[in-house]
Structures are given as structure tokens and as C-alpha cells.
């Protein structure tokens, strides 16, 4: 048992439902007790979905507990088949149903005899994988199911398209800025004269999955979902895939170079060269490269930042901050513990320390200790920032409704670099403004705040020293306070006077 | 699936495929109500994820609730439940030092048959903090019924009302009935003896049950006081240590329609006398509630009629908005019967009252009141659908085209996109809706989509779905 107040990644079935409801005309039936259909609320509220979320529950109640589901699940599947006529019904186990150990596969087999829809059982272990891993797994399962079906029926056409083409794998519902990223990726590929073969799962139809092998290569923009599918397609059909996230100028260029390589592999006679495109975009279309040179960004040099999020976003943002903006990343971390090795490798050399945890209190304590000028994290870090008075830019799930903006806000591609530059700059300016206010005798009447999440300290500050502390500009005040207290503790002093403050400053050269 | 509206109350029961909150959501308001409590939800990631998302920003305010998240080792019994819970509870004791820890049992603890009720007394002795067990799981209950399970469990912890000759001696907490506190209590009682005695002569002890924000609770108490009815306690009180005394001389009355289990426990286990009244929602409900309590105590009410009239008078602007409009309750929080009755009295037409579970005995007075209200307003009786089926309901709504659907958040946006106004039902659980004072708040909620529409009406955007998907509703 674990005492938990908050979690970064949801339970496995959420991942399965996200994939299922991203496809067009796919219905998911959860084998779950009443109240577990909370996914529908999230999708309807966060994504502001106009359509009913294609997820229903086959309710597990006391009767089911006593005598098993019997006909219930099969009836619910066939009923949904008649009502909605979906192409595919995904029976989704939940944590509750997985300990009931009913033979759900048997229900699926029985239901698929009578229903016109295809029926599959999502194959995820609730106690071993989280939301993201389950999503990855389910997408692969659906793709595999339809490709194998096509192969059996002899409808699988393995020839590739005449023109270079690509599949985009891993765009799905409730993903962080996924819709905008998808539009940006399509634009990028269009610029490169590459046709979009299929985008899955968002808006895709399972009937079209058999056309996946027609593309020249697969593009997997996010680390968390789509990789398993891409690896499966590579193994089965020899399709190459690109898993470099085109986030930030350097990585976008790198991603395009990979595309160039794969395209050129397939057309040996006429070589394609994307370098002029990269150069043009980098220097003139994206404003981010210019921004890095501008004096605005100069002011950010060496400022401390902390990054935390899913593996994809945290790694990319860390590299952008360090490599493209000259910001010092004091600590970077991810809650994707299952992908820790990859993450460490990605951020090696771009940060001072790495934190792999899914415990938000550890993240909070880390931030309190480091006292960065800005945080780039999830909604949780935003709240930590609020309490510590540190600005925060949200760069990764889990997120609230305000992170599903109506306006166009991609994180990927060249427009993405502009958006990220704005986000970073705005987070820091808030901090700068604050400090300018202080320097020019702002209107600060606040009491001193302790830059720590836990209430500690047995030290008392006398009146004069408090006044003196208040005179110190806010952006270094916390540090001075901490250093003074550290000095006081080392010397067994409990009452802090102005003299002690000066002594501490001298001793620690703070 | 006929949409004919009949003359008598009809009860139907559908498949139970409906959307509602998990009953563990009750910790959201109960931990705020009971200030010295700590709620420990013994369940899985799924429960935690629900709470975290349903409670939104509350999660960041260092709440006094947490998950005891079960891991694979707990499910397969490789770990010892008792030792694990002891470890977590000791940590809670160290960090928060609450007066009571409430374990919320979930579906998972039911299925693996974790003996929470058996472990609680043992652990309670060991760590010195009362542990109350409530099985608020989705296998048995829906949304607000979670509160019912917690209050029913707490009813067992209320101290016993002891009668000594004519004088009543109140022992605040059986845990602290040592000799000295007993003495001081007795002393205090003798000094106030005459005054207390006078009051007690007026009405026997009355305990109200149901969790309300403290302002609403004191509003209701003072409404009763105007009729010289003294409320001797609330279940739950603001603090666990202030739970009211119960016994066979104590009258109890519910303030919410979803507390049938608590009512049963109070009657059968604590031998209290239950006053079956309509619930104090809306000015009509509040008046009927007070009248019923007074009639049980043989008190003649004073000025109630005038007070009710005055409230209706104040609601006039809102009543003009709702009159003649139709409502469809999809049903997910058990407040539906009372709300429908109030809205009918406001002049609305109710097509359907969906409700997760209907205890016809506990809600008897409310049902009768609903029937009378319909007659009085000459409006056809709505159909009452227990354990509704959301899919069928949406089909019915498509035919009936109600002016307002009161529904869960899962359906609200899709219905709005199809031109049906909606109000989230969950807001009625969180808003202050009880008593005369808060009648306006109920209508504020109900009229919000209607008022919004008055602003947007002529823009021609009410249906925002594409043709192909439209036929699905």
C-alpha cells in the first residue's frame, strides 16, 4: 500500500479508452462498477467534445460479484452493436474487473459471433502499466488486429505509394496540445512534399488501418504512445520510423534530416535535399533562432530553471532551454519511470541533476530547494510554483482545461518553436518584472515567505533583521534568508540579528 | 418506450446504465465538514484518479484525505493488510493528528474481501485514534449515497443518551467518560438545570442528520428555533468529538433525500424515532419540513405561511423565467424528487425524474408531497425512472425536446451541441440549496442556462453538430 494524494499518470484503462475513443466509430465498453466512467466527463469537459463519448460501462454490481457477469457483458456488446453500429468494440477491463478474473476473452469470442462489429479485449495489466503504457499497448493491439485480419482476408496491399508518404502515429484525445501538433506536423510534411498516408488514432478509421504499410515511413512524435506500433510495423513490414520529436529548432532539423535519409533510401536516383528548407525555416520563418540572438534572450542567460513532465516534453524542453536559449537547467525530471534510461540519456549534459519520480512531494521539495527563476512542468508544478511564488510554464500533461486552448498552439515544428519561445520568455519576464518593481522601491508590503513546502525553523528573526531582510529584493531574498539561517544553525545561534546577517553574508559570500 | 404522461405517479426501473459519480466523492465535502477528520480511501489508482480529477483544485490545498493505493502485492495477499494499514495510519497520525480516521472501502476491498470492519477496532486500540469504516463503493451505491454510508457508520459512534429520572444527562463522548469530566459535566448541568429543563419540556431531543455547510445548518436550526423547536445536535457535527447523543428518547429527522441507510441505522440500532418529512429544499419543502417536525412535537407553527409567501415573492423574477418550461432529470444524485417537486411548484413541467435509487419508505412524505404539488399546479405526473438507462433517456429527450436537461457532466456538452440546454446536476450537490434562505440559489442554478440563452438566442447557432452525427442522439 502506498499513501498517495496525487498522481501524474492515470490508471491503465484510461489509456485504452483514450486510444479507442480517438478512432472514428470505435466504441469501448468498460467492465466496471458504477462511477468508473469518469473518462467521459474528462473528455467531454477538457476536450469540450460535442459528441457523446463512445464509452459505456457494462456495470459490475453486487449481482455480478455474486454470480459472475454471465450474459451481461455479451448483451451489452451486442446491444451497442445494434445501437451505434461501430466498426470495432473494445472491451476494456478495469482494475476492479481484473481481480474478478472473469474470462472476458470468452465473452468477446461469444459476442463477436453475433455482432457485426469486430470485438476485441484490450490486453493490459492494471497493476503493472499506467495510462501511457496502456495507450501504447492498445494502439499496437488494434493495428495488429486489423493488419492480421487483412492478411487473412488477402486484402493487404503491401506496395508503397508512388510519392513519398508518411503515417503520423500517436496523436490522440486528451493529449497535451495534440490537435495543434498534428496540424503543424501535417504542414511540415506538406512543405517537404510528403503525403500524409494516415494519422492514427485521432480521427482515423479502423477500416483504413490496412493501408498503413503503404507509407514510406512512420513518424512517431511522442515517446509515450506509438512506439510499439512503429516497432511492430518495422518488424512486420520493414517500415522505417522516426522517433525524434520535432520540438525545438535543433531537433526539428534533426527530424527533417532523418526524413531526408529515409526518403532518399527509397528513391536512389534523384536525391532530395532538405537543408535549404531547414535553413530558410530556421533563420526566417521561425522566430526562435532570432530570439535566441536577441538581447531579450541575453537577459535569460544563466537563469535557473527546473523542468518536469512526461519523458517527451521534459526532455525536449530541457534541451531547448539549455542548448537554444542558454538557460541553466538546474534539475530536470520525468514521471515516466518506465522510460528512465532513455530520458537520462537524452538530457545528459543539459542539466545539473535528474529526478525520476512520480511522487509530487519530491518534486515540490526539489523546487523549494533549488529556488529556480522559473519552472516548466505540469499543472502540479504550476501549483507548487504558486505556493513558492515562482512563475511556471505548463509544458506537459497532466493538465487542466486551460491547457486545451481554442487558439492554435502547437509545441512541435517551426510554429511550435515560436510558441515555446513565448512561453519561456513570458514565464521569465514575470519574474523580471517582479524584481524590477522591487529594485525601484515597489509596493511590497508582504511578510517574508519561507521558500519551503514544509513548515520548519526554530529560528527567530528580530525586528531589525526582518526589516533588513525586507529591503533585499524579492528574487534573492529567499536565498539570503536561507543562507543566513544555515549560518545561524551552524553556529548554534537561534536569534538572528542584523549583525548575524552580515556575518553570514561574509562567511558564505552570498 | 412511450412518452405518454400519466395521471398517477409511475415508477419504472431501467437497466442501470447511467453515468454518475462514484460514491467515494463524498470525501470532498465531508472532510471539509468534519474539521478534525481524515479520510483514507482504500482503493486503486482508478479511485485516486477519479478523486483527483473530480475535485480539481481542492487537491492542491493539502486536503485531509488520501488514497491508500493498493498494489499488486496487496491484491495477491503477499502483503499483510493489517500491517500495511497500520503503517499508513501511523503516518497520518504523525503528520496530521486527526480525531478520527475514516476508512472508505471501495470496490476492490469488497472484491478481495478485505476485512476493514474487523481490522478497524484492533487498530483503533493500537494507535489510539477512532477508526470509522464506510463502504462507499460503486458496486452498491451511487454518488451521494457515499455520504449515507459514512453517516450510517458514524451513527454507531454517537454517545448514548442516558436518562436519570426526569433529568437528562448528556455524555459528550464515550471515550472521555472518566470520572472527572463526568463530574464537571454534571455540575454544569445542575447550574443550567432549570433552563434546560424548561427547554426539554418543550420538545424532546431532536437530532438532524445530513451534512450541510455550517451556515446552512445554523439557518435551518434557527428556522426551527423560531417555532421554539430546539435542535439538540447534528449528525455530522462540525467536529467528530462533538457528535450528538442518541437514544430511544431522541427524535431524528433527515435533511437530504439520500440518507435512507443512516435513517435505518438510527431507528434500528440506536432506537431513535424518525420523523418522516419532505426535505427542506425550496420554500415549499422547507415549510412542509418544519410543519411536520412541529406537528410531531405538538407545536403550533407561527407565521410560516407568511414566511413562505415572502420567499416566493422574492423569487418572482426567476419564476417568470421558468414558468411553463419543461425539465428532464437524467438522474444521478438522488436529490431529483425534491428538486422536481420544487420546480413543479415554480410552474415548470417535469417530463421525467431519473433517479439512481428510490427508497419509497424514506422518501414517502416527499413522494406524497410531489403528488399533491402536481395536483395543485394541475400538471401531469412525471414518470419516475429508477436506475435509468442514459442511452434510452437520450432517445426520449430527442422526442420530448425539453427546455432544460439536468444531467451529469459527461452528457452536458454533447446535449448543448444538439441544442438542449443543460445544467450540471453535481452543482446541486455542492451548492447551498436548503432552507428558505437558499431557495434563490436553486433557481439561480436552474435559470442560468435559460438566462444565457436569452443573450444568445438570435444568433442561430443552437445546433452545433454536423448532420452525420445528428441522427445518433
pLDDT at A328 over 70: yes
Q: What is the largest CA-CA distance in chain A?
A: 87
How far is the C-alpha of A77 from the C-alpha of B290, rounded, in Å?
A: 50
pLDDT at B5 over 70: no
- Strands B37-43, A241-242: parallel, antiparallel or unpaired by DSSP? unpaired
pLDDT at residue A321, as a whole number: 95
How far is the C-alpha of B336 from the C-alpha of B270, rounded, in Å?
A: 29
- Partner residue opposite B410 with nearest CB, options A53, A59, A94: A53
Closest chain A residue to the Cα of B395, Cα to Cα: A83
Task: Count other Cβ atoms within 10 Å, centred on residue A143.
Answer: 26
| pLDDT band per the 50, 70, 90 thresholds, residue B187 | very low
Given CB atoms, is A443 within the 8 Å cutoff of chain B?
Answer: no
| pLDDT band per the 50, 70, 90 thresholds, residue A432 | low
pLDDT at residue A477, as a whole number: 78
pLDDT at residue A440, as a whole number: 58
pLDDT at residue B59, as a whole number: 61
CA dihedral B46, B47, B52, B56 (to 10 degrees): 110
Mean pLDDT of B2-27: 80
**Is A42 flagged in the annotation as binding?**
no
pLDDT at B6 over 60: no
Calculate what percentage of chain A has a pLDDT beyond 70.
Answer: 93
For residue A214, give every residue at least 6 positions away whose Cβ sits within 8 Å of its Cβ, in sequence order, or none: A157, A159, A160, A161, A165, A197
List pLDDT tens digits, range B244-269. Answer: 999 999 999 999 999 999 999 999 99
pLDDT at residue A246, as a whole number: 96
Question: In sequence order, what are the beta bridge partners of B384?
Answer: B11, B353
User: Between residues 66 and 125 of chain B, which touch chain A (CB distance below 8 Å)?
Assistant: 66-72, 74-75, 79, 84-85, 87-88, 91-92, 107-108, 110-112
Mutate to test the interface with B, among A41, A45, A100 (most CBs of B within 10 A): A41
Task: Count other Cβ atoms within 10 Å, centred on residue B373.
Answer: 21
Q: CB–CB of B46 and A6 under 8 A?
A: no
Ranking A127-131, A305-309, B92-96, B187-191 by mean pLDDT, the lowest is B187-191
If one compares B56 and B182, the residue with the highest pLDDT of the two is B56
Mutate to test the interface with A, among B22, B24, B40, B60 (most CBs of A within 10 A): B60
How far is the C-alpha of A398 from the C-alpha of A7, rounded, in Å?
A: 9
Ranking B74-78, B107-111, B209-213 by mean pLDDT, the lowest is B74-78
Cell 435533511 belongs to B255
Q: Give A327: exposed, middle or buried? Use CB within 10 Å, 0-12, 13-18, 19+.
A: buried
User: Between residues 350 and 369 of chain A, which touch chain B (CB distance below 8 Å)?
Assistant: none
Q: Is the pTM of this model over 0.90?
A: no
- Partner residue opposite B464 with nearest CB, options A50, A57, A83: A50
Ranking A82-86, A379-383, B4-8, B93-97 by mean pLDDT, the lowest is B4-8
pLDDT at residue A480, as a whole number: 80
Residue A425, phi-psi category: left (phi > 0), alpha (psi -120 to 50), beta (remainder):
alpha
The interface pTM score, or ipTM, of the predicted complex is 0.85
Out of A103, A157, A296, A352, the active site residue is A296
**Is A431 flagged in the annotation as binding?**
yes
pLDDT at residue B430, as a whole number: 85
Task: Count other Cβ atoms within 10 Å, centred on residue A49.
Answer: 18
| pLDDT band per the 50, 70, 90 thresholds, residue A487 | confident
How far is the C-alpha of B433 from the C-alpha of B427, rounded, in Å?
A: 10
E strand or H helix that includes residue B167: strand B167-170
CA dihedral B52, B53, B58, B64 (to 10 degrees): -20
If one compares A478 and B137, the residue with the highest pLDDT of the two is B137
Per-state percent for chain B, helix, strand, coil, to nearest 5: 50, 15, 35
pLDDT at residue B58, as a whole number: 58
Identify each DSSP E strand in A122-239 by its residue range: 165-171, 195-201, 217-219
Q: CB–CB of B414 and A50 under 8 A?
A: yes
Buried b (16+ CB within 10 A) or exposed e, A447-463: eeebbbbeeeeeeebee
Q: CB–CB of A4 and B408 under 8 A?
A: no
| pLDDT band per the 50, 70, 90 thresholds, residue A69 | confident
Closest chain A residue to the Cα of B144, Cα to Cα: A35
pLDDT at A63 over 70: yes
For residue A56, give every residue at least 6 positions away whose Cβ sits within 8 Å of its Cβ, in sequence order, or none: A27, A28, A29, A30, A37, A76, A80, B17, B391
pLDDT at residue B174, as a whole number: 45
pLDDT at A474 over 90: no
How far is the C-alpha of B323 from the C-alpha of A168, rounded, in Å?
A: 53
Mean pLDDT of A174-189: 95
Calculate what percentage of chain A has a pLDDT beyond 90.
Answer: 64
If one compares B167 and B468, the residue with the highest pLDDT of the two is B468
pLDDT at residue A4, as a whole number: 85
- Which ranges of A238-294 does DSSP label H, i.e. alpha helix? 249-266, 275-280, 288-293
pLDDT at A298 over 70: yes
List pLDDT tens digits, range A348-380. Answer: 999 999 999 999 889 999 999 999 999 999 999
Q: Give A259: exposed, middle or buried? Use CB within 10 Å, 0-12, 13-18, 19+.
A: buried
Given CB atoms, is A61 within the 8 Å cutoff of chain B?
Answer: yes
Q: Considering only CB atoms, which chain B residues are within 8 Å of A13?
A: 46
Q: What is the mean pLDDT of chain B?
A: 86
Is residue A37 among the annotated active site residues? no
Mean pLDDT of A237-260: 95
Closest chain B residue to the Cα of A65, Cα to Cα: B111
- Strands B383-386, B10-13: parallel, antiparallel or unpaired by DSSP? parallel
Q: What is the mean pLDDT of chain A?
A: 89
Radius of gyration of chain A (CA): 27
**Is B374 flagged in the annotation as binding?**
no
Residue A154, phi-psi category: left (phi > 0), alpha (psi -120 to 50), beta (remainder):
left
Count the helices and strands in chain B (H runs, E runs).
Answer: 21, 16
Mean pLDDT of A279-285: 92
- Strands A495-496, A460-461: parallel, antiparallel or unpaired by DSSP? parallel
Task: Count other Cβ atoms within 10 Å, centred on residue B249.
Answer: 15
Closest chain B residue to the Cα of A400, Cα to Cα: B56
User: Between residues 215 and 234 of chain B, which touch chain A (CB distance below 8 Å)?
Assistant: none
Mean pLDDT of A189-209: 94
How far is the C-alpha of B470 from the C-alpha of B473, rounded, in Å?
A: 6
Q: CB–CB of A35 and B20 under 8 A?
A: yes
Contact status, residue B19 vs residue B332, Cβ threshold 8 Å? yes
Three-state DSSP string of A137-157: HHHHHHHHHHHHHHHHHCCCC
For residue A16, give every residue at least 6 positions away whose Cβ sits within 8 Å of its Cβ, in sequence order, or none: A28, A90, A92, A122, A124, A134, A135, A138
CA angle A257, A258, A263 (to 5 degrees): 95
- Partner residue opposite A5 with nearest CB, options B22, B59, B469: B59
Buried b (16+ CB within 10 A) or exposed e, B216-237: bbebbbebbeebebbbbbbbbb
How far is the C-alpha of B190 from the C-alpha of B169, rounded, in Å?
A: 10
Task: Count other Cβ atoms within 10 Å, centred on residue B280.
Answer: 33
pLDDT at A449 over 60: no
Mean pLDDT of A421-428: 90
How far is the C-alpha of A94 from the C-alpha of A122, rounded, in Å?
A: 10
Given CB atoms, is A69 within the 8 Å cutoff of chain B?
Answer: no
Mean pLDDT of A396-420: 92
Q: CB–CB of A95 and B112 under 8 A?
A: no
Residue A99, phi-psi category: left (phi > 0), alpha (psi -120 to 50), beta (remainder):
alpha
Mean pLDDT of A335-340: 94
Given CB atoms, is B21 within the 8 Å cutoff of chain A?
Answer: yes
How far is the C-alpha of A332 from the C-alpha of A307, rounded, in Å?
A: 5
Of B176, B390, B438, which is closest to residue B286 (Cα–Cα)?
B438
pLDDT at A12 over 60: yes
pLDDT at residue A293, as a whole number: 87
For residue B165, give every residue at least 6 positions away whose Cβ sits within 8 Å of its Cβ, in sequence order, or none: none
Q: CB–CB of A1 and B60 under 8 A?
A: no
Given CB atoms, is A400 within the 8 Å cutoff of chain B?
Answer: yes
pLDDT at B200 over 80: no
C-alpha cell at A69: 457477469
C-alpha cell at A261: 535519409
pLDDT at residue A252, as a whole number: 96
Closest chain B residue to the Cα of A80, Cα to Cα: B391
Q: Give B201: exposed, middle or buried? Use CB within 10 Å, 0-12, 13-18, 19+.
A: exposed
Q: CB–CB of B472 and A2 under 8 A?
A: no
Amino acid at each position: 500500500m502506498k499513501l498517495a494524494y496525487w498522481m501524474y499518470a492515470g490508471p491503465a484503462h484510461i489509456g485504452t479508452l483514450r486510444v479507442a475513443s480517438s478512432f472514428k466509430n470505435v466504441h469501448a465498453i468498460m467492465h466496471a462498477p458504477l462511477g468508473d466512467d469518469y473518462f467521459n466527463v474528462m473528455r467531454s469537459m477538457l476536450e469540450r467534445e460535442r459528441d457523446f463519448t463512445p464509452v459505456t460501462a457494462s456495470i459490475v454490481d453486487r449481482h455480478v460479484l455474486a454470480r459472475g457477469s454471465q450474459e451481461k457483458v455479451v448483451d451489452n456488446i451486442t446491444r451497442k452493436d445494434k445501437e451505434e453500429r461501430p466498426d470495432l468494440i473494445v472491451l476494456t477491463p478495469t482494475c476492479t474487473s481484473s481481480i474478478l478474473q472473469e474470462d472476458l476473452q470468452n465473452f468477446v469470442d461469444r459476442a463477436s459471433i453475433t455482432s457485426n462489429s469486430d470485438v476485441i479485449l484490450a490486453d493490459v495489466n492494471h497493476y503493472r502499466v499506467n495510462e501511457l503504457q496502456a495507450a501504447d499497448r492498445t494502439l499496437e493491439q488494434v493495428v495488429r488486429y486489423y493488419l492480421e485480419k487483412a492478411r487473412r482476408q488477402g486484402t493487404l496491399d503491401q506496395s508503397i505509394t508512388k510519392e513519398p508518404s508518411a503515417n503520423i502515429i500517436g496523436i490522440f484525445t486528451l493529449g497535451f496540445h495534440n490537435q495543434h501538433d498534428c496540424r503543424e506536423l501535417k504542414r511540415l510534411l506538406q512543405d517537404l512534399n510528403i503525403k500524409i498516408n494516415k494519422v492514427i488514432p485521432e480521427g482515423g478509421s479502423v477500416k483504413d488501418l490496412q493501408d498503413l504499410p503503404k507509407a514510406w515511413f512512420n513518424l512517431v512524435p511522442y515517446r509515450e504512445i506509438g512506439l510499439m506500433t512503429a516497432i511492430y510495423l518495422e518488424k512486420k513490414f520493414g517500415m522505417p520510423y522516426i522517433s525524434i520529436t520535432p520540438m525545438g529548432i535543433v531537433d526539428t532539423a534533426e527530424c527533417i534530416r532523418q526524413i531526408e535519409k529515409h526518403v532518399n533510401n527509397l528513391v536512389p536516383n534523384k536525391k532530395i535535399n532538405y537543408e535549404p528548407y531547414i535553413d530558410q525555416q530556421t533563420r526566417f520563418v521561425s522566430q526562435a533562432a532570432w530570439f535566441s540572438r536577441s538581447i531579450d534572450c541575453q537577459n535569460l542567460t544563466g537563469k535557473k530553471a527546473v523542468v518536469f513532465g512526461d519523458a517527451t516534453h521534459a526532455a525536449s524542453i530541457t534541451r531547448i532551454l539549455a542548448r537554444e536559449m542558454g538557460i541553466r537547467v538546474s534539475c530536470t525530471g520525468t514521471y515516466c519511470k518506465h522510460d528512465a534510461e532513455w530520458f537520462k540519456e537524452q538530457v545528459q549534459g543539459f542539466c545539473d541533476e535528474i529526478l525520476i519520480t512520480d511522487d509530487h512531494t519530491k518534486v515540490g521539495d526539489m523546487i523549494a530547494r533549488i529556488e529556480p527563476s522559473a519552472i516548466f512542468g505540469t499543472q502540479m508544478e504550476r501549483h507548487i510554483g504558486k505556493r513558492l511564488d515562482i512563475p511556471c510554464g505548463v509544458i506537459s500533461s497532466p493538465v487542466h482545461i486551460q491547457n486545451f486552448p481554442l487558439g492554435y498552439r502547437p509545441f512541435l515544428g517551426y510554429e511550435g518553436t515560436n510558441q515555446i519561445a513565448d512561453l519561456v520568455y513570458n514565464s521569465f519576464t514575470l519574474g523580471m518584472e517582479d524584481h524590477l518593481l522591487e529594485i525601484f522601491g515597489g509596493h511590497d508590503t508582504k511578510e517574508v515567505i519561507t521558500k519551503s513546502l514544509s513548515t520548519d525553523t526554530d529560528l527567530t528573526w528580530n525586528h531589525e533583521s526582518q526589516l533588513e531582510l525586507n529591503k533585499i529584493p524579492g528574487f534573492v531574498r529567499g536565498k539570503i534568508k536561507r543562507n543566513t539561517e544555515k549560518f545561524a544553525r551552524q553556529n548554534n545561534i537561534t536569534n538572528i540579528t542584523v549583525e548575524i546577517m552580515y556575518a553570514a553574508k561574509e562567511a558564505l559570500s552570498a | 418506450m412511450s412518452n405518454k404522461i400519466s395521471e398517477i405517479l409511475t415508477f419504472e426501473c431501467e437497466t442501470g446504465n447511467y453515468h454518475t459519480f462514484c460514491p467515494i466523492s463524498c470525501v470532498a465535502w465531508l472532510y471539509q465538514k468534519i474539521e478534525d477528520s481524515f479520510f483514507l480511501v482504500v482503493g486503486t489508482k482508478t479511485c485516486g484518479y477519479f478523486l483527483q480529477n473530480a475535485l480539481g483544485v481542492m487537491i492542491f490545498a493539502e486536503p485531509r484525505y488520501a488514497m491508500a493505493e493498493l498494489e499488486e502485492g496487496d491484491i495477491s495477499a503477499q502483503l499483510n493488510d493489517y500491517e500495511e494499514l497500520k503503517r499508513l495510519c501511523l503516518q497520518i497520525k504523525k503528520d496530521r493528528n486527526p480525531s478520527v480516521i475514516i476508512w472508505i472501502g471501495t470496490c476492490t476491498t469488497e472484491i478481495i474481501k478485505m476485512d476493514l470492519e474487523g481490522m478497524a477496532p484492533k487498530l483503533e486500540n493500537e494507535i489510539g485514534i477512532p477508526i470509522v469504516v464506510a463502504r462507499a463503493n460503486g458496486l452498491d451505491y451511487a454518488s451521494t449515497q457515499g455520504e449515507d454510508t459514512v453517516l450510517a457508520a458514524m451513527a454507531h459512534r454517537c454517545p448514548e443518551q442516558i436518562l436519570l429520572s426526569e433529568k437528562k444527562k448528556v455524555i459528550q463522548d464515550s471515550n472521555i467518560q472518566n470520572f472527572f469530566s463526568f463530574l464537571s459535566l454534571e455540575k454544569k448541568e445542575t447550574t443550567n438545570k432549570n433552563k434546560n429543563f424548561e427547554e426539554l419540556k418543550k420538545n424532546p431531543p431532536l437530532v438532524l442528520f445530513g451534512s450541510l455547510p455550517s451556515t446552512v445548518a445554523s439557518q435551518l436550526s434557527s428556522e426551527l428555533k423560531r417555532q421554539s423547536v430546539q435542535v439538540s445536535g447534528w449528525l455530522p457535527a462540525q467536529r467528530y468529538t462533538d457528535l450528538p447523543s442518541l437514544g430511544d428518547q431522541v427524535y431524528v429527522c433527515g435533511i437530504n433525500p439520500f440518507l435512507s441507510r443512516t435513517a435505518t441505522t438510527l431507528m434500528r440500532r440506536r432506537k431513535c424515532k424518525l420523523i418522516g418529512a419532505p426535505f427542506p429544499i425550496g420554500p415549499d419543502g422547507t415549510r412542509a419540513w418544519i410543519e411536520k417536525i412541529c406537528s410531531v412535537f405538538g407545536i403550533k407553527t407561527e407565521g410560516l405561511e407568511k414566511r413562505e409567501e415572502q420567499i416566493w415573492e422574492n423569487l418572482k423574477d426567476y419564476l417568470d423565467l421558468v414558468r411553463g418550461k419543461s425539465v428532464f432529470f437524467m438522474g444521478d444524485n438522488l436529490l431529483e424528487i425534491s428538486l422536481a417537486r420544487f420546480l413543479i411548484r415554480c410552474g415548470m413541467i417535469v417530463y421525467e425524474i431519473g433517479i439512481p435509487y428510490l427508497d419509497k419508505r424514506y422518501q414517502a412524505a416527499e413522494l406524497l408531497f410531489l403528488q399533491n404539488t402536481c395536483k395543485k399546479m394541475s400538471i401531469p405526473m412525471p414518470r419516475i425512472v429508477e436506475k435509468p438507462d442514459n442511452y434510452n433517456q437520450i432517445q426520449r429527450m430527442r422526442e420530448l425536446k425539453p427546455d432544460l436537461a439536468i444531467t451529469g457532466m459527461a452528457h452536458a456538452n454533447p446535449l448543448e451541441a444538439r441544442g438542449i440546454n443543460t445544467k450540471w446536476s453535481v452543482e446541486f450537490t455542492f451548492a447551498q440549496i436548503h432552507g428558505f434562505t437558499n431557495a434563490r440559489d436553486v433557481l439561480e442554478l436552474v435559470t442560468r442556462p435559460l438566462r444565457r440563452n436569452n443573450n444568445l438566442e438570435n444568433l442561430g447557432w443552437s445546433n452545433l453538430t454536423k448532420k452525420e452525427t445528428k441522427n445518433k442522439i
